[in-house]
Amino acid sequence: MEQSRRITDSFPRRRRRGPGRPPGRLKDKKDKDKDKVQLKVKVRDCPRAPSQPPPDPALMEMLRRFDLSWEYGPCTGITRLQRWERAQELGLSPPGPIRDALLEHRDNPDVTY
């Protein structure tokens, strides 16, 4: 009788312990302070995105309904505009105001994704 395969059989096995610090050893206080300083420097170096005004709640509700509507296909892993265009190509006739709103607020990630 053949043994059933598991999904984990298709992935390479990884060692659990690497050449890092030995188990049970905690970081010294000096190491913690050093990590905090490095973290602060990293945060300062990050460019900040320009703040955008929050979109209209009615627009967000319309987009939420579009997201939850399964008649236009799945929405995972793609932008709302890509989903709208895919639905149009498949002949599912998605609502036109959705596309207009997506094109109007193209720079706002709250609307795009």
**Domain boundaries in the chain?**
57-111
CA distance 20 to 59: 50
Whole-structure pTM over 0.75, yes or no?
no
Task: With cut-offs at 50, 70 and 90, classify the pLDDT of residue 43.
Answer: very low
- The pLDDT score that the predictor gives to residue 4 is 77
For residue 16, with 0-12 CB atoms within 10 Å meaning exposed, 13-18 middle and 19 or more buried, which class applies?
exposed
